[in-house]
Chain A
Amino acid sequence: MNYADLFRVTLPETMLEIAALLVLVMDLAFLRKAGLRVRAAAAALVGVAGCGAAAWALSATGGGSLRAGDELLLAGGGSAAVAQYGILALTALTLLLLIDSVFTRHVGEFVAVVLMSATGGLLIAAAQDLLVIFIGLELLSLGLYILTAFAKQSGRSAEGAMKYYLFGGMSAAFLLFGFSYLYGLTGSTNLLPVMLRIHQATGPSADPLLLVSLVMIAAGLGFKVAAAPFHFWAPDAYEGAPAPGAAFIASVSKVASFALLISIGTAGAYASGTSNAPNEGFIGPWTLVVTVLSLASMLAGNLAALAQISVRRLLAYSAIAHAGYILLGLAFFSRSNASAAAILYYILTYGLTTIGAFGAVGVVERATGSDRMDAFLGLYKRNPLLAAVLLVLFLSLAGIPPLVGFWAKFNLFAAVLSVGAGPIAFSLVALAVALSAVSLYYYLQVLKRAFVMPVADPAGRVEKISVDPVTMIVLVAIAAAVVVMGCFPALLQGWIAGFYAAM
């Protein structure tokens, strides 16, 4: 490793950091007298430009990887590159939705924190070393705590952030503890050597120390992806955070964390493929732990969502359920790229949809002051276009074809069945499909209020909801993308597959 390599490989991250600093300087030095809207627009635009520059840097460096001696620190190309492009695109969309937000006067700082968090996301998407993973995760998480707390006038924002922070601190400790065991077991901090040595060292039955360490790691990462039973922060954070912050937490941080899990799964699958020893090594216990998380998340998320009256909390529980489906893909992980591609497809499209959903909820919230389901009453009259966007996004989350959410689930479950053809994998997939039928109920609860039930106002007055044109364009673009990618699912699949072919 030399510094030229380091600079070259981390150019995208550097671009984001430069953009973050530029936003701060511009906002604090030049735009102090400007109106809030101008400042928000300027900050968001610089942020988006930063994301664009980072994406350019990513394609220009050609997805190089960074090595220290023999050990891979940052992977390039393949899953990492897909996740990094996804993170940049979703970050840019989040920033565009920020423009007409009014929750804070410190828009410059907000954008800067978003960009720095995204930097952490880029790092962990590529990280192949336990220490880099940990640093990237902390960089991402610290930003998220701040974003959650950003609406300073709101008590719920502070409460959500405090819960998120306490849980996060504890789970980081668990994660580090688990990593230290892995290091103790294998004498390495690098993913691939760690996996290889586990395979060589452990006997036919799993080492208890390995199980302890994997459970600790699962707790730490399960917190990041909001998997039950480590999900308790999610509803409060989603409810309290300002809408763009919540969208960022629900999309970008999920993409990054699942990309990390894909790295772990890929390394484990690769190691099990190379070793001749007839033991399950890492894969067996890891599958067990992840399956338990997946099952708990699918059940807890879908069932708890049935009872919600706050749409944001509903989205939080639905996010837990979606995390459950994805974890199923991670539990039955193939040595080929099929699983990784299916999971990335799922998480990218889910991130896109959920940003749109939070954007739409944010608009309704600003107009009515509430995110209760009843705030959506009569939405089709108050803003037909917004109602149509909401229809598309929620149905996509429920997995109704021909929207992209259906293909995400379909790919993922097909990948699971192609790996684990046994009755266990099959019953888990059957449960997942059955629970997504359940999920239609709670998504329809929101859509029912938007389209079916009349406005609650006794006088029958209908207040129009006006939406900022930029926000509306972004939301319509997201909905259109959901429809187009749903009608032509091969577009995104081909794009993802291109990265694996290039490796």
Chain B
Amino acid sequence: MLAWTIYLSFAGALVEALLPKGRAGLARGVALVVAAGGLVIAALGFAADAGHGRVTIVDVPWVPSMGIHYTLAADGISLVLVLLTGLAAVAGVLFSWNIELRVNEFFAFFLALIGGVYGVFLSFDVFLLFVFYEVAIVPKYFLIAIWGSTRREYAAMKLALYSFAGSAMVLIGLLAAYATAGSHSTGLVQLGHAGLPVHFQMWAFPLVFVGFAILAGMWPFHTWAPTGHVAAPTAASMLLAGVVMKLGAYGCLRVAMSLFPHGMDPWGFSFIGIGSWRDVFALLAVIGIVYGALVALVQSDFKFVIGYSSVSHMGFVLLGLMTLNQIGMTGAVLQMFSHGVLAGLLFAIVGRMVYDRTHTRQLAELESMHLSRRMPFIAGAFVVAGMASMGLPGFSGFVAELQVLAGAWKANPWWTGAAGVGIVVGVAYTWRALQKAFFSDVRPTAEDHPKTGWHDLGAITWPEMTGFALLTLASLWIGLYPRVLLDAIEPAVKTLFAGGGQ
């Protein structure tokens, strides 16, 4: 049944492309129906399959001569991320309700992207996964280049080239693994059991891991992320930060780590405390956490603050993966979900609620607008989202980051210490943005006046309310009752350990 999330999204994209032009309402309606349908299927699938181990949905030969199968399956990790994709898709449609330019095409690209993302999360054949992974690249380019804002063509091209360079690395590694294994199956499980030589895994692992981690925003390959997020239209930023970065992290976990588990073995020597690829990537993840937070602290553009915070939060995911223990990796998957929801929420507030009304994202200009008094709903929404993002107990971020830190402590206490600094700085940049954007008392100067304008900001519309409620409730629900997801994630992570030869 879950496979219909993919087909429904692609069919929706096709329908959007063929709809008559100039019927914006119709296009929005179709997109909302398709996205909501995807969410319903994802939720039903989650309810039906969670806790049942890996459930194979489809398995038919696709390219028989090379042993490639069209294998769709779902385990606990996939289910959680499919659910996240459904949420992000519905919220994305709701927050792009006010798009007026080329509406049909916008939703066509949007749904094509969603379809590709569902496909990645459900594929259990490495090359099928790779195909869906690449399918998601092209719509991103057009979404940003056509409907974006600040330096959109530059940002879109940068994002497309970074993604494509990453996927080229992945393809090289996978081709080499296919040739080395000499097996006639490319299923994730079968290839994982092919017994690839350790020396091969030693160089294939970093290649494929970095290839995927580029999309997960790993420092120092993160630079596409802030520019891409800022330039993208709201819905695309929400998807980029919400699910596309998860594609990268998911690929690291599902492909790189489960196919080449021995790639993380110690090298046999150590250099300034780094003795394996695992240490290298954990270090990069920690640097990403702290660096992203520090850079977010000094941004003058509101959206860049959120963009860099994504880099920081995705660092927790990568750190959790590199702990290689049950609690850390469970936390990493939970953090994927949590960040997916919260980043979507933050980008929706900044991009849709604030920017589309004030037409500026400069904190210095927002300071003089007194948004907390004029738009109390937005201010309140950002308070909630900001608190959730900085890891307030009761929201999903707290549970997830706590688990990652606990896992990291087991693996290497220094990582936890450094990541803790990132959390503190996280509080600081969120507080700073909150204060400057909403609660400042600066009086507008005369020259500010005509530009920033005290024009009518427009009331909050129902799609915004609904989207906000959807994402906030999701975060609260997981924060208060994380067992729902943990019961699905934990067995899947356990199986991954058992099958991955750890």
Q: Which residues of A contact B (CB under 8 A)?
A: 380, 388, 395, 400-402, 406-407, 410-411, 413-414, 417-418, 421, 426, 429-430, 433-434, 436-437, 440-441, 444, 448, 451-452, 489-490, 493-494, 497
Question: Given that A401-B130, A406-B131, A414-B66 are contacting pairs, would A444 and B141 also be in contact in the complex, using a CB cutoff of 8 Å?
Answer: yes
Cβ of B137 within 8 Å of any chain A Cβ, yes or no, is yes
**Beta-carbon nearest neighbor of A420 in chain B:** B179
Known: A421-B179, A452-B146. A493 touches B138 (CB 8 A): no
Query: For chain B residues 162-206, which have a beta carbon within 8 Å of chain A?
Result: 164-165, 167-168, 171-172, 175-176, 178-180
With a cutoff of 8 Å between Cβ atoms, the chain A residues found around residue B63 in the complex are 407, 489-490, 493
B58 at the interface (CB under 8 A from A): no
* A440 engages B131 (CB within 8 Å): no
The answer to whether A430 touches B172 (Cβ under 8 A) is yes
Interface residues on B, range: 35 or more
Give Cα A497–Cα B179 distance, bound, in whole angstroms: 20
Closest to B104 in A: A384
* Contacting residues, chain B, for A441 (C-beta < 8 A): 157, 161
CB neighbours of B131 from chain A (8 A)? 401-402, 406
A406 touching B134, Cβ below 8 Å: yes
Contact of A490 (CB < 8 Å), options: B62, B141, B168, B180: B62
- The 8 Å CB contact of A440, one of B160, B171, B178, B179, is B160
Instruction: Jot down 6 A-B pairs with beta carbons below 8 A, ordered by A.
Output: A421-B179, A433-B168, A451-B146, A489-B62, A490-B64, A494-B65
Flag if B179 contacts A418 (CB, 8 Å). yes
Chain B residue at smallest Cβ distance from A399: B134
B134 near A401 with CB under 8 A, answer: yes
Task: Point out the residue from A395, A452, A494 that lies within 8 Å of B153, measured CB to CB.
Answer: A452
Please name all residues of chain A whose beta carbon is closer than 8 Å to the beta carbon of B164 when the two chains form the complex. Answer: 437, 440
Are B135 and A402 neighbours in the complex by a CB distance under 8 Å? yes
Q: Which A residue sits closest to B147, measured CB to CB?
A: A452
Residues of B within 8 A of A490 (CB): 61-65
Within residues 98 to 156 of chain B, which ones have a CB less than 8 A from any CB in chain A? 105, 127, 130-131, 134-135, 137-138, 141-142, 145-146, 153, 156
A451 to B102 Cα, complex, angstroms: 11
Q: How far is the CA of A24 from the CA of B175 in the complex (A)?
A: 51
Q: Which residues of B contact A426 (CB under 8 A)?
A: 176
Q: Could you tell me the distance between the alpha carbons of A147 and B179 in the complex, rounded to whole angstroms?
A: 43
B residues near A448, Cβ cutoff 8 Å: 145, 153, 157
Using a Cβ cutoff of 8 Å, how many contacts connect chains A and B? Answer: 79
Interfacial chain B residues near A402, Cβ < 8 Å: 131, 135
By DSSP majority rule, is chain B's interface helix, strand, loop, or mixed? Answer: helix
Least Cβ–Cβ distance between B58 and chain A, in angstroms: 14
- Tell me whether A437 and B161 are in contact in the complex, defined as CB-CB below 8 angstroms, given that A406-B134, A417-B175, A452-B153 are known contacts: yes
Which B residues are in CB contact (< 8 Å) with A418? 179
Complex CA–CA separation, A414 to B65 (angstroms): 11
- Are B65 and A497 neighbours in the complex by a CB distance under 8 Å? yes
Check A414–B153 contact: CB distance below 8 A: no
Give the chain B neighbours of A489 by CB distance below 8 A.
62-63
B160 touches A414 (CB 8 A): no
The docked-state distance in angstroms from the alpha carbon of A434 to that of B130 is 16
Query: Please, which residue of chain B has its CB at the minimum distance from the CB of A421?
Result: B179
By beta carbon, the residue of chain B nearest A493 is B65
A497 contacts across to B, CB distance below 8 A: 65
Assembly CA distance A410 to B131 (angstroms)? 11
Closest to B167 in A: A437
| Nearest Cβ on chain A to B72's Cβ, whole angstroms | 15
Q: How far is the CA of A494 from the CA of B62 in the complex (A)?
A: 12
Complex CA–CA separation, A334 to B156 (angstroms): 41
Docked CA distance A388–B63 (Å): 27
What are the 5 closest A-B residue pairs judged by CB atoms, nearest first?
A: A417-B179, A401-B131, A437-B168, A452-B145, A437-B164
Minimum CB–CB distance from A487 to chain B (whole Å) comes to 9
Residues of B within 8 A of A440 (CB): 160-161, 164
Most buried by A among B137, B157, B179: B179
Given A395-B138, A444-B141, A490-B65, 11 other A-B contacts at CB below 8 A? A400-B135, A400-B137, A406-B131, A407-B63, A411-B66, A417-B176, A417-B179, A440-B164, A452-B146, A452-B153, A452-B156
In the complex, what distance in Å separates the CA atom of A451 from the CA atom of B17?
14
Bound-state Cα–Cα, A489 to B168, Å: 20
* A residues less than 8 Å from B157 (CB atoms): 441, 444, 448
Taking the closest CB of chain B, its distance from the CB of A11, in whole angstroms, is 32
Given contacts A414-B179, A417-B175, A444-B160, contact A400 B168 (CB under 8 A): no
Cβ–Cβ < 8 Å partners of A451 in chain B: 142, 145-146
> In the complex the two chains form, what is the Cα distance from A429 to B153 in whole Å?
30
CA distance A489 to B131 in the complex (A): 12
Q: How far is the CB of A374 from chain B (nearest CB, A)?
A: 15
Residues of A within 8 A of B64 (CB): 490, 494
Which A residues touch B137, using CB under 8 A?
400
Bound form: Cα–Cα A411–B175 in Å: 10
CB-defined contacts of A421 to chain B, threshold 8 Å = 179-180
Residues of B within 8 Å of A434, CB to CB, are 165, 168, 172
Query: A337: shortest Cβ distance to chain B, in Å?
Result: 11
A401, A417, A436, A494: the one within 8 Å of B168 (CB)? A436
Which residues of chain B from 9 to 57 have any CB-CB distance to chain A below 8 Å in the complex?
17
Contact A401 B135, beta carbon cutoff 8 Å: yes
A406 to chain B, nearest CB (A): 7
Name the A residues within 8 Å of B175 (CB-CB).
410, 413-414, 417, 429, 433
Q: What chain B residues lie within 8 Å of A400 (beta carbons)?
A: 134-135, 137-138
Distance in Å: Cβ of B258 to nearest Cβ of chain A: 21
Q: Bound complex: CA of A407 vs CA of B64, how far in Å?
A: 13
Report A-chain residues with C-beta under 8 Å of the C-beta of B141.
Answer: 444
Which of A410, A414, A489, A497 is most buried by chain B, counting CB atoms within 10 A of its CB? A410
The docked-state distance in angstroms from the alpha carbon of A452 to that of B131 is: 25
Which of B61, B153, B171 is A433 in contact with, Cβ under 8 Å? Answer: B171
Residues of A within 8 A of B165 (CB): 434, 437
Chain B neighbourhood of A430, CB < 8 A: 172
- B65 / chain A contacts, CB cutoff of 8 Å: 490, 493-494, 497
- Closest Cβ neighbor of B144 among chain A residues: A452
Query: A240–B166 Cα gap in the complex (Å)?
Result: 37
| Cα distance, A452 to B62, chains bound together (Å) | 35
Please report the C-alpha to C-alpha distance between residue A440 and residue B176 in the assembled complex, in whole angstroms.
22
**Which of chain A's residues have a CB closer than 8 A to the CB of B161?**
437, 440-441
List residues of chain A with CB within 8 A of the CB of B179: 414, 417-418, 421
In the complex the two chains form, what is the Cα distance from A406 to B137 in whole Å? 14
Given known A406-B131, A406-B134, A451-B142, contact A433–B180 (CB-CB < 8 A): no
Residue in A388, A395, A433, A452 whose CB lies within 8 Å of B172 = A433
Residues from 235 to 273 in B contacting A, C-beta threshold 8 Å: none
Closest to B130 in A: A401
Which chain B residues lie closer than 8 Å to A410 at the CB level?
127, 175
Residues in B whose Cβ lies below 8 Å from that of A407: 63
Interface centre among B64, B105, B168, B176 (most CB of A within 10 A): B168
Chain B residue with minimal CB distance to A426? B176
In the assembled complex, the CB of B184 is this many whole angstroms from the nearest CB of chain A, namely: 11
Q: Who on chain A is nearest to B68 by CB?
A: A489
User: Could you mark each residue 479-493 of chain B with 1 if its beta carbon is under 8 Å from any beta carbon of chain A, else 0?
Assistant: 000000000000000
